[in-house]
Structure 1
Amino acid sequence: MMVPEVFPNVPLIAVSRNPVFPRFIKIIEVKNEALMELLRRKVRLAQPYAGVFLKKDDNNESDVVESLDSIYSIGSFVQIHEMQDLGDKLRMIVMGHRRIQITRQLEAEPKESESQSKPPPRRKAKFSHKDQPTNGLRRNTGKLKYDLSVLQALTSEIVKTIRDIIALNPLYRESVLQMMQAGQRVVDNPIYLSDMGAALTGAESHELQDVLEETSIPKRLYKALSLLKKEYELSKLQQRLGREVEEKIKQTHRKYLLQEQLKIIKKELGLEKEDKEAIEEKFRERLKDRAVPQHIMDVISEELNKLGLLDNHSSEFNVTRNYLDWLTSMPWGTNSEENLSLERAKEVLEEDHYGMDDVKKRILEFIAVSQLRGSTQGKILCFYGPPGVGKTSIARSIARALNRQYFRFSVGGMTDVAEIKGHRRTYVGAMPGKIIQCLKKTKTENPLVLIDEVDKMGRGYQGDPSSALLELLDPEQNANFLDHYLDVPVDLSKVLFICTANVVDTIPEPLRDRMEMINVSGYVAQEKLAIAERYLVPQLRSLCGLTEVKASISSDALSVLIRQYCRESGVRNLQKQVEKVFRKVAYRIVSGKQTTVTVTPDNLQEYVGKPVFTVDRMYDVTPPGVVMGLAWTALGGSTMFIETSLRRPVGGADPKGEGSLEVTGQLGDIMKESAKIASTFARAFLMGQEPQNQFLVNSHLHLHVPEGATPKDGPSAGCTIVTALLSLATNRPVRQNVAMTGEVSLTGKILPVGGIKEKTIAARRAGVTCIILPAENRKDYSDLPDYITQGLEVHFVDHYSQIYPIVFPQNQS
């Protein structure tokens, strides 16, 4: 069918994104009812022609436009080659023939139905012969004068660029083959070549429309070349990105393949086994040289069989493997060779710590028993005493002396039972308790385990850890200790457990009953001086990078430091002060102020500041009504004065009235009761000594214990309060430099008290020459070393009547 050269009126089809270039085929779908009817009628009338124009807005999906301003004025005259009527839409294959330009809008023929009477859908484009730019160019190409060399160069460059694009992206080859007409040389037709070049690219719609509207052939070729060059650069980038991704995938794939091949080769050569076989062999290798009990070996064999049936990627596989890992890591039947030489043990203990005779003696006894038995044994000891006296560090020395592995864990603030007994295996991330972890880490069945701060355990919603320790620290039960995770009995009977505590009152009674309690009391000034000279000074001097030549501290300076700065029971504060001295010495040497420094009592204040304790005692001479008592604190012992005084004048009181006693000084309930007992007994005792003295009967008295900010409690000040009241009543001062301690009963009996060593040390430090102690505390006093008791006059009494002649001698004026 011949396409007419002139066809002035055509239906207008608006398309988006890509215009239809002449000689190119496009599939178009039309959904507008009025336009569909118009096109059907035109095809029936053997006028299958339309005008396809590009919409200016790419987002507009409509087939028709309300105004000609919504489309570009130049489009393509197309012939409808094939039309499929799908009912609600028309699908057409159209072929472009030439460029056309809209001249005006026409109305549709009036014979159509009412539904098609709306003007916009029936718009037709009319064009005249003079408004056919491409047609004129196409027919008169030979007559128009263009520079043929420019056309040829542009044509050749376009062809070359198309070939380059095809080489980079083979998908374009199909498009080019479809566009080229059979047996036609594209190079001979620059107009078609420019249209084909533009149609090949994925350029923006306005750029393609620009090529369609261009009337000058060289300019049109140039615009098409520009679009092709952009497409070529885009194809190059796309190819480079694709190549990089492909290379990366190839490397990963190649590595995977090589690894799989290597696995198969090793397997064939017998160099490597399957994962499960390797795991099983590793576990069996661990148990080769160990004496595993039969009941535990049965559990391991059962778990290994179970492991062989499980899939490698299942969660149960990992749980079983971890369980077997813990079971086979335990030191079944493995013991470290214990040192049974008393001389060697004594040497090690003396090398690290000064004093602490009770602890050292107990460890040597332990070694002696082991030597006689010929085997290792376990024991449960508890060291209690003030902080800084070396409880934790002596445990490390004991491990060295016994040649045992050392493991420490602190239970201070612990609230979870699982820390000791472990978690059930059913939980995610379950682990055994600390004791099982200890055995795995130390690789022996007889380590020394230090359980630190056993008096500071907490209690939470996860249970009570102190109750969990009952099984662990019971010699009758811990031979078959059952951890929740392992769920097999573990023998802990060879483990030496050492617990440490500051006070024993907070340790539950059943737990305290299971442990052998050893008191590690505080140090006196002489012991501190020896510790400082032997251990602290050399250790801290080297820690600060100094030598003995450059820095030294005299013994007198250390004594002043101990007496006026560090009065606590331990040596931790003394260590800090000595380190402070050496730091300041190091600064002076490095800054060039001095080359060598010797610290003496005269220049000590330059390094540690003003003394903290300048007065050893509140009263140098005690007046009537004031007596020195002795007290025990968590930091050691201290002296404490009891003061009594009248609240009202003696004559102002009613002779027949009852007296009163007011107590102050932040005293606890026990001490208040002790004051009342002492007041009652003092009144009765004074009646027996001086019947005419009615002072305590009807006087209003005030009893005060100085340092009111410090809470005080306990019954041991009973005899001191009685003495203070009698001193006030008789208006006689007690014997100077005397101190006493002891609980008094209502009948005057003196009952025993605790902390004798600390109280004796405090009395000696305060310059006391005579101390009075309960008779039942004689055994505690006899255990004290000579350098503490030397020069002290001590009286042991069991009734207050024995104290009275000592503190109020007959020859006293």
Structure 2
Amino acid sequence: MSEQEKEIQTVTLPALALRGMTVFPNMMLHFDVGREISVKALDESMTSGTPIFLVAQRDIAVESPKEKDLCRIGTICNVRQILRLPGDNVRVMVEGAARGRMHRLTQLTPYLAAEVEEIVPEEPVRGSAKTEALIRQTYELFERYVELAPKMTPDLLLNLISSEDPGYIADYIAQNIVMRTGDKQSILEELRPVRRLEKLFRQLRQELEVLELELDMQNRVREGMNRNQRDYYLREQLKVIQQELGEGEAGGDSEIAEYRQAIEKAKLPEEVSQKLLKEVSRLEKQPFGSAEATVLRNYLDVCLELPWNKKTKERADVEAVRKALDNDHYGLEKVKERILEFVAVKQLAPDLKGQIICLVGPPGVGKTSIAMSMAKAMNRKLARISLGGVHDEAEIRGHRKTYIGAMPGRIIAGIRQAGSSNPLLLLDEIDKLGSDHRGDPADALLEVLDGEQNSTFRDHFLEVPYDLSDVLFITTANTLDTIPRPLLDRMEVIELSSYTDEEKLQIAKRHLLPKELKRHGLKKSQLKLTDGALREIITGYTKESGVRILERKLGAVCRKVAMRVVSDGVKSVSITGDNVEEFLGIRRYHPERLPRTEQVGVVNGLAWTSVGGELLEVEVNVVPGSGKLELTGNLGDVMKESAHAAYSYIRSRADRLGIEADFYQKKDIHVHFPEGAVPKDGPSAGIAITTAMVSALTNTPVRRELAMTGEVTLRGRVLAIGGLKEKTMAALRNGIRTVILPAENEKDLEEIDQTVRAALHFLPVEQVDAVLAYALGLDVTQGAGQLPEAPAEASPAAGGISIHQ
């Protein structure tokens, strides 16, 4: 029997899916319909005279809804009016009749049709006191809502006061207030009238709170706008008055306010803040179009762009810095050790100030790149300032801001560029500073590179002190000779010496070759360069302390290989020491070939150059004459003096050397240094000249595979020299086995590369007598004569140092 009743209660009606709205029973509502299936459902309802089922769509984005897209509870409505609008739209007026429950959709096209069961409302019962209280509270809330909500008319309350049905009241209010579609649907689905009103009451109270908050915000905005409009009106009046008086500028007030606001936000030191506010006040009083106003704006902009309180978080981690330096650089152990010591101290004492490091060494040994790696490892911003050729003090300290084209100095500009008050400032080529009538920039750097003074560094442009104590200064130079002593005194010098051939090989393999392959678009498989080829390039095509020319030669090889890959279709090129000439041409440099036999009057000296060490031959010839001493070979004054000192020493020791006492009257001596086009000077060829003269005068051959360096005095003492590392590397490169050096330089042997120390014998000497005894086999302590043979070479002592008594 129940099944029959159920069948009787279920009817098939055309259905219309609502998007973003809900229709309640006993309510009249009009809305626009645009979808074709919805319009056809309305037409079917009007044609057949049957009601239509309006049901909410769960997701409003779905264009063709299915049964799963629709809610189950909707409203059975009667269509009262249909109005056709332009653009295929329809405006329809419907009246809700009753709630309905959808069982299923019977069709989807050409319109939706659904089996709907009409939900019979509960019979109204006599209301309890609780229900009456709920109705009254709902009235009060709705009355407040009507007062506050826009587009709500008071006659809505009149239609509601006469009703005592909680279900009708809930439906009426829900239909007429602004609520989310989901909230309205939940009220529609609530079938118990009192529960429905309770749910509506909660929703209405929440909506009223939101409405009151919106109204409060609108009032505040309106008040602010009124105040701003008043201020704007007064400001515009003031601007017009100032323009009439020629004392103002359009937009000036907002500009002044922006400057003051920026100064306040920057949290500057008190002295700086007061200075800038004073300048802003001056700018405010400047007449329209004033040139001084432009100067003041530029000054304020520069000052406010400086990172007064901005700092990067420094990474004072020894291991991290060590890893970064090792990844970027091969060798340079002493330099890395000093930098790591600095980081370690920084780790223990973060407030340590006044660390200024000067990296000195030949071109291309990695001074600048070391500083860049240090900045990256320590998480400091890097600003590079090239000082080469700077000859104006204003380049460092800046110009007075009253001058046309005034700007801050390079130090402040570098900090501004870095955007941090604790950057690493790299002062490149500090040894190439110039000076002229406009001042000496080296004098200006005295304050910058002094930890006691630079906390209050004053740039002429800023006119206020700027704290440089958190800046880490790294300077680079090729030589210390041209750096003024007071400036050099403020820096800790770290020397980067020349690379050995083995170090150059490792640098080429680990850094230069991969970099050049990437630059030239080559893969590792397309170019195979053996160690032998690299050694051949290093020794035969480069002659430098650093690796710049080596890098260029590797680039030249990569270009040749790229040409073969593109033009000839070659997949891979292998280069060995034997076929390097195919890519780089004829070998440019050849090692000095030592004579096969011992020669008279020819001695190998050792010289230091800016690109490393070199073997320097000294030739002496003795001919009958009147005792003249001739010097050739493009010699400087110091080397000429060394030759005269050697000559005087030989005359004083002639009897013990087995030389005729009157040789200086009967024989002419010609001292020559080959490669006359190359200027030569320096105090380290004295013992080489002495040995060559004695060899020529006594007709005694000089030992092969021997080189020497050291200055000589009139009394025969051997004085210390510099550049020992480069000189010993040159000796090894040219096949020398034994090196004679001053005894005072014996301590410097610890700094020589292990490879060089192991391959050479070193003979420290204090007197020229010991040099002659070893090089010529002369015994100058017991009178004239020649030893039967030279002392045998002793085996290397610990550390590769051989000492012969």
Q: Could you tell me the TM-score, scaled by structure 1's length?
A: 0.64
Q: Secondary structure at the match of 2:648?
A: helix
For residues 263 and 347 of structure 2, the distance between their equivalents in structure 1, rounded to whole angstroms, comes to: 30
Asked if 2 retains the 8 angstrom alpha-carbon contact of 1:523 and 1:569, the reply is yes
Counterpart in the other structure of 1:762: 730
For residues 350 and 512 of structure 2, the distance between their equivalents in structure 1, rounded to whole angstroms, comes to: 38
AA matched with 1:437: A
Asked if 1 retains the 8 angstrom alpha-carbon contact of 2:622 and 2:697, the reply is no
Q: Could you tell me the TM-score, scaled by structure 2's length?
A: 0.65
Counterpart in the other structure of 1:338: 314
Structure 2 counterparts to residues 639-788 of structure 1, below 5 A: 639-648=615-624, 653=625, 659-690=627-658, 695=663, 698-788=666-756
- Residue 400 (structure 1) shift: 1.0
Of all paired residues, the percent bearing the same amino acid is: 43
Mark the CA change 1:317 to 1:688 in structure 2 (over 3 Å): closer, same or farther: same
Q: Secondary structure at the match of 1:790?
A: helix
Q: Secondary structure at the match of 1:647?
A: strand
Asked if 1 retains the 8 angstrom alpha-carbon contact of 2:533 and 2:577, the reply is yes
For residues 279 and 528 of structure 1, the distance between their equivalents in structure 2, rounded to whole angstroms, comes to: 59
Which of 386, 402, 414 is residue 362 of structure 2 equivalent to? 386
Mark the CA change 1:715 to 1:630 in structure 2 (over 3 Å): closer, same or farther: same
Which of 229, 234, 244 is residue 268 of structure 1 equivalent to? 229
Show CA shifts across 1:118-171 (max 9, x none).
Answer: xxxxxxxxxxxxxxxxxxxxxxxxxxxxxxxxxxxxxxxxxxxxxxxxxxxxxx
Asked if 1 retains the 8 angstrom alpha-carbon contact of 2:385 and 2:414, the reply is no
| 551-560 vs 471-480, which moves further | 471-480
Say if 2:476 is the partner of 1:492.
no
AA matched with 1:803: V
Asked if 2 retains the 8 angstrom alpha-carbon contact of 1:455 and 1:507, the reply is yes
Q: Secondary structure at the match of 1:549?
A: helix
Show CA shifts across 1:70-97 (max 9, x none).
Answer: xxxxxxxxxxxxxxxxxxxxxxxxxxxx
Structure 2 counterparts to residues 619-658 of structure 1, below 5 A: 619-648=595-624, 653=625
AA matched with 1:552: K
- Residue 342 (structure 1) shift: 0.4
Mark the CA change 1:617 to 1:500 in structure 2 (over 3 Å): closer, same or farther: farther
AA matched with 1:704: H
Say if 2:297 is the partner of 1:321.
yes
Say if 2:538 is the partner of 1:577.
no
For residues 372 and 447 of structure 1, the distance between their equivalents in structure 2, rounded to whole angstroms, comes to: 20
- Residue 760 (structure 1) shift: 0.8
Mark the CA change 1:356 to 1:798 in structure 2 (over 3 Å): closer, same or farther: same
Show CA shifts across 1:17-60 (max 9, x none).
Answer: xxxxxxxxxxxxxxxxxxxxxxxxxxxxxxxxxxxxxxxxxxxx
| 772-781 vs 635-644, which moves further | 772-781
For residues 609 and 733 of structure 2, the distance between their equivalents in structure 1, rounded to whole angstroms, comes to: 15
For residues 560 and 508 of structure 1, the distance between their equivalents in structure 2, rounded to whole angstroms, comes to: 41
Q: Secondary structure at the match of 1:659?
A: coil
Structure 2 counterparts to residues 552-567 of structure 1, below 5 A: 552-567=528-543
- Residue 315 (structure 1) shift: 1.9
| 473-482 vs 533-542, which moves further | 473-482
- Residue 612 (structure 1) shift: 0.4
Counterpart in the other structure of 1:511: 487
Which of 381, 402, 424 is residue 378 of structure 2 equivalent to? 402
AA matched with 2:688: T
Show CA shifts across 1:564-585 (max 9, x none).
Answer: 1112111111011110001000
Asked if 2 retains the 8 angstrom alpha-carbon contact of 1:719 and 1:750, the reply is yes
Mark the CA change 1:742 to 1:388 in structure 2 (over 3 Å): closer, same or farther: same
Q: Secondary structure at the match of 2:759?
A: coil
Structure 2 counterparts to residues 49-68 of structure 1, below 5 A: none
Counterpart in the other structure of 1:278: 254
Which of 371, 376, 380 is residue 347 of structure 2 equivalent to? 371
AA matched with 2:337: K
- Residue 686 (structure 1) shift: 3.6
Show CA shifts across 1:416-453 (max 9, x none).
Answer: 22211111111122111111111212121111111111
For residues 686 and 373 of structure 1, the distance between their equivalents in structure 2, rounded to whole angstroms, comes to: 65
Counterpart in the other structure of 2:789: 812
- Residue 669 (structure 1) shift: 0.9
Mark the CA change 1:779 to 1:605 in structure 2 (over 3 Å): closer, same or farther: same
Mark the CA change 1:531 to 1:620 in structure 2 (over 3 Å): closer, same or farther: farther
Which of 484, 499, 514 is residue 538 of structure 1 equivalent to? 514
For residues 580 and 691 of structure 1, the distance between their equivalents in structure 2, rounded to whole angstroms, comes to: 57
For residues 622 and 482 of structure 1, the distance between their equivalents in structure 2, rounded to whole angstroms, comes to: 67
Asked if 2 retains the 8 angstrom alpha-carbon contact of 1:370 and 1:377, the reply is no
- Residue 660 (structure 1) shift: 2.2
| 280-289 vs 370-379, which moves further | 280-289
The Cα RMSD (Å) is 2.3
Say if 2:399 is the partner of 1:423.
yes
For residues 515 and 481 of structure 2, the distance between their equivalents in structure 1, rounded to whole angstroms, comes to: 35
For residues 323 and 691 of structure 1, the distance between their equivalents in structure 2, rounded to whole angstroms, comes to: 80
- Residue 286 (structure 1) shift: 4.1
Counterpart in the other structure of 1:184: none
- Residue 383 (structure 1) shift: 1.5
Mark the CA change 1:737 to 1:340 in structure 2 (over 3 Å): closer, same or farther: same
- Residue 291 (structure 1) shift: 4.7
| 299-308 vs 733-742, which moves further | 299-308
| Consecutive unaligned residues in structure 1, runs of 5 or more | 1-263
For residues 603 and 691 of structure 1, the distance between their equivalents in structure 2, rounded to whole angstroms, comes to: 53
- Residue 696 (structure 1) shift: 5.6
Counterpart in the other structure of 2:284: 308
- Residue 265 (structure 1) shift: 11
Counterpart in the other structure of 1:82: none
- Residue 280 (structure 1) shift: 3.9
- Residue 682 (structure 1) shift: 2.1
For residues 271 and 405 of structure 1, the distance between their equivalents in structure 2, rounded to whole angstroms, comes to: 44
Mark the CA change 1:466 to 1:732 in structure 2 (over 3 Å): closer, same or farther: same
Say if 2:592 is the partner of 1:616.
yes
Structure 2 counterparts to residues 353-364 of structure 1, below 5 A: 353-364=329-340
Asked if 2 retains the 8 angstrom alpha-carbon contact of 1:349 and 1:398, the reply is yes
Q: Secondary structure at the match of 1:734?
A: coil
For residues 487 and 315 of structure 1, the distance between their equivalents in structure 2, rounded to whole angstroms, comes to: 20
Q: Secondary structure at the match of 1:431?
A: coil
Counterpart in the other structure of 1:197: none
For residues 628 and 432 of structure 2, the distance between their equivalents in structure 1, rounded to whole angstroms, comes to: 42
For residues 423 and 436 of structure 1, the distance between their equivalents in structure 2, rounded to whole angstroms, comes to: 12
For residues 261 and 332 of structure 2, the distance between their equivalents in structure 1, rounded to whole angstroms, comes to: 46
AA matched with 1:780: D
For residues 341 and 295 of structure 1, the distance between their equivalents in structure 2, rounded to whole angstroms, comes to: 35
Asked if 1 retains the 8 angstrom alpha-carbon contact of 2:591 and 2:733, the reply is no
For residues 261 and 497 of structure 2, the distance between their equivalents in structure 1, rounded to whole angstroms, comes to: 50
Show CA shifts across 1:749-792 (max 9, x none).
Answer: 11111101110111111111100111111222211231221121
Which of 399, 409, 414 is residue 433 of structure 1 equivalent to? 409
Mark the CA change 1:277 to 1:519 in structure 2 (over 3 Å): closer, same or farther: same
Asked if 1 retains the 8 angstrom alpha-carbon contact of 2:357 and 2:475, the reply is yes
Q: Which has the larger Rg?
A: 1
- Residue 697 (structure 1) shift: 6.0
Asked if 2 retains the 8 angstrom alpha-carbon contact of 1:338 and 1:402, the reply is yes
| Consecutive unaligned residues in structure 2, runs of 5 or more | 1-224, 236-249, 778-786, 791-805
